[in-house]
A and B are shown apart, each in its own frame.
Chain A
Amino acid sequence: MIYWLYQLLSSYDIPGIGMIPGISFRSAAAIITSLFITTVF
């Protein structure tokens, strides 16, 4: 989903948006989100 959002917004000059396609960034975000889901719920 975030990748589609990136493709949609990539023409705009939004700071930090260039990180989204990077696998490392998305992997880190995935790990944090899954940790959040398991520990909170």
Chain B
Amino acid sequence: MQKKQIGEVVRDLGLEGQMQKKGTPTMGGIIILSAIIIPTVIFAQLNNVYIILMLVTTILLGIIGFVDDYIKVFLKNKAGLAGKFKILGQVSLGIIVAATLFLSDDVKVRQHVKDENGNDLKEVLIDPVTGEQTVQFVTQDVKTTITTIPFIKKNEFNYEWLVAFTGDASAWLKWVVYAIAIIFIITSVSNAANLTDGLDGLATGTSAISGATLGVLAYVSGNIIYADYLNIMYIPNIGELTVFIAAFIGATVGFLWYNSYPAQVFMGDTGSLALGGILAVFSIIIRKEILIPLLCGIFVIENLSVVIQVYYFKYTKRKYGEGRRVFLMSPIHHHFQKKGIPEAKIVTRFWIVGIVLAVLTVATLKMR
């Protein structure tokens, strides 16, 4: 990348050590994406709808990020790909994901069958050899818009509840609401990861932590014994996603080896857009998307800091005639940099917060 002059273009924002990053190879996201796609193709079941969906996500967002980086690095246009095209790509991905979850017969959730009073039906099984009796719930695989919500009884939330007032129309309207939620989540998490990629190793490390947590959630959701023990939603065939997320963890940790402070390579938008999108789609597929604000808390904080900064600036400019700022600079990691905290310390502290949030996310399996 250095030989081919694929170097980072740096704007002078007056941050400590910032200009030293000029010329550092970028577009390392290609390596991350290759390290996700190749092991997945080799080791995962390619006829699994969830694996196909994750590969489509990785490739689609990778292409959008690559085009953005290509315009910045090779065409020397600092603006990169116009925002509307990025959003268009993310919305298209959201539609693909929603359509697949709606149309594919392989996408189902196993649920308890209820009687007319709303109680779970049970059946008695008799072992033909020993004559031993066991009681178990009657289950069926259903296509549903149910997802996991933490801290409440049964841990379940159905998007249908949001449109229940529409009566019969809620049967199809719930899928529209679900699709809108999917598009919103993919767009916001993908862009948030892009914003977070401002310090050496920050987006990579945070993504690795979130990825590992999602891996645990996918494994237990796809294992009928653990799902039953933890009393969480069992999703048939979802366990296969553990192979994908393992490749994701390996790719991010391996890349972190070179991306940690002082970075020898940057992932660029090729990597950051895809990392965020992968985490978003993965959590949607395993029905844990409502946990994103907790699990990807760092991304959310980074995103919020930009939104608050921009809107407060506009508001004060309108009201007082001069724009005022909440943070010294946004995203928030630059605020801490402006305060004089060394880059490596900021990144390490963000990782610590990420780990704490990951532990809390896993704890939600039992907290209700």
Contact = CB atoms under 8 A, between A and B. Distances in A.
A35 to B, nearest CB: 4
A3 B35 contact: no
Contact of A34 (B35, B44, B215): B35
A11 interface: no
Query: What's the interface size class on B, roughly?
Result: 20 to 34
B34 A41 contact: yes
Interface stretch (B253-261, B272-280, B293-301): B253-261
A3 B240 CA distance: 12
Contacts of B251: 34-35, 37-38
Contact of A30 (B34, B246, B253): B246
Interface centre among B34, B46, B243, B248 (most CB of A within 10 A): B243
Contacts of A39: 254, 257-258
A33 B250 contact: yes
A2 B240 CA distance: 13
Contacts of B222: 23
Interface in B27-47: 31-32, 34-36, 38-46
Contacts of A34: 35-36, 38-39, 246-251, 254
Query: What's the interface size class on A, roughly?
Result: 10 to 19
B331 interface: no
A16 to B, nearest CB: 15
A17 B42 CA distance: 15
Contacts of A36: 254
Contact of B247 (A1, A2, A3, A33): A33
Nearest to A40: B254
A23 B41 CA distance: 14
Contacts of B255: 38
Nearest to B240: A23
B242 interface: yes
A33 B38 contact: yes
A28 interface: yes
A16 B226 CA distance: 26
A20 to B, nearest CB: 9
Contacts of A3: 43-46
Given A35-B253, A36-B254, A37-B31, 4 more contacts: A26-B243, A34-B250, A35-B250, A37-B35
11 contacts: A27-B43, A28-B246, A30-B40, A30-B44, A34-B248, A35-B250, A35-B251, A37-B254, A38-B35, A38-B253, A38-B255
